[in-house]
Structure 1
Amino acid sequence: MGFLVRWAFALVLVAATFNPTEMNYLGWALRNWDSQLPLVILLGLLLLVGWIIYLRATLRSIGAFGMLLIATIVAALLWVLYDVGVLTLDNQALNTWLGILALSAVLGIGLSWSIVRRKLSGQADVDDVDA
C-alpha cells in the first residue's frame, strides 16, 4: 500500500506540472504570468520542492542508471502493448498521459526502492555521514 501512495503522489506531481488538459501549472502560469505573478512564483516554488524531494530520493535510491532501466522497462511494456494491438499511438493526449504515467512510475519506484530493498535483503540504507 505504501508504494501506491508514493506513486500516486508522484503522479499528482507530474500531472500538476504538465498534462494535456488546461488544468496544469505550466499552462496556467503562462496564461496568468502578467496578472498573478506572486501566485505563479509561489506555486512554482512548491512544485519545485516536490520535484527536488522526488528526484533526490530517486537518484539516491536507484541512481541515474536505475532510472534509465525503469524507464526502459516501461517503454518495453508500452512497445509490447502496441505490438499486440492493445495500444495505438494515434492520440497525442493519450501519448502525453502515457509519458506522465511512465515518469511517475520511475519516481514512485525510486522513492520506494530503499524500502523494498530493506524488506528483501534485511539491510538498511544509510546516508553518507561526514566523520
Structure 2
Amino acid sequence: MGIFLRWLFAFVLLSATYNPTQWSYARWSFAHYETHLSLVVFLGLVLAIGYIIYLRATLRSIGPFGMVLILALVGTLLWVLYDFGILTLDSRQLNTWLGIFALSVVLGIGLSWSIVRRKLSGQADVDDVDE
C-alpha cells in the first residue's frame, strides 16, 4: 500500500502542476499572476518542495540510468498496448495523461526503491540505519 500511495502522490503532484484540463497550477498561475502573485509564488514553492523531495530520492535510489530504464519500460508497455489495439494515441489529452502517468511511475518507483530493495535483499541502506 505504501508504494501505491507514493505513486499516487507523484501522480497528484505532476497533474496538479500541469494537465490538459483547466484545473492545473500552470494554467491558473498564468491567468492570475497579476492579481494573486503572492499565492502563485507560495503554491509554486510548495510544488517545488514536492519535486525536490521526489527527484532527490529518485536520483539517490535509482539514479539517472534507472529513471531512463523505468521510463523505457513504461514506454514499451504503452507501445505493446498500442500495437495490440488496446490503446489509441489519437487524443492529445490522452497522450498528456499518459505522459503524466509515465513520469509519476518513475518518481513513485524512485521514492519506493529503497524499501523494495530492503525487502528483497534484507540489506539496509546506510541512510536507513537507525541510530
Note the 1:67-78 alignment, pairs <5 A: 67-78=67-78
Shift of residue 24 of structure 1?
A: 0.4
Structure 1 residue aligned with 2:54: 54
Task: Note the alpha carbon deviations across 1:100-129, whole angstroms, 9 max, x for none.
Answer: 0000000000000000000000111114xx
SS of equivalent to 1:88: coil
Runs of 4+ in 1 over 4 A off after TM superposition: none
Matched, 1:88 2:82: no
Structure 1 residue aligned with 2:104: 104
Shift of residue 89 of structure 1?
A: 0.5
After TM superposition, the score normalised by the length of structure 1 is: 0.96
Residue segments in structure 1 that go unaligned for 5+ positions in a row = none
C-alpha distance in 1 between matches for 2:68 and 2:126: 23
SS of equivalent to 1:123: coil
Structure 1 residue aligned with 2:40: 40
What code does the residue aligned with 1:124 have? A
SS of equivalent to 2:123: coil
What code does the residue aligned with 1:101 have? F
Structure 2 residue aligned with 1:17: 17
Task: Note the alpha carbon deviations across 1:29-59, whole angstroms, 9 max, x for none.
Answer: 0000101000000000000000000000000
What code does the residue aligned with 2:36 have? Q
C-alpha distance in 1 between matches for 2:38 and 2:17: 17
What RMSD in Å do the two structures reach over aligned CA positions?
0.5
Residue segments in structure 2 that go unaligned for 5+ positions in a row = none
What code does the residue aligned with 2:16 have? A
After TM superposition, the score normalised by the length of structure 2 is: 0.96
SS of equivalent to 1:87: coil
Task: Note the alpha carbon deviations across 1:10-41, whole angstroms, 9 max, x for none.
Answer: 01000000000000001100000101000000
C-alpha distance in 2 between matches for 1:6 and 1:43: 20
C-alpha distance in 1 between matches for 2:14 and 2:62: 19
Matched, 1:28 2:28: yes
What code does the residue aligned with 1:40 have? V
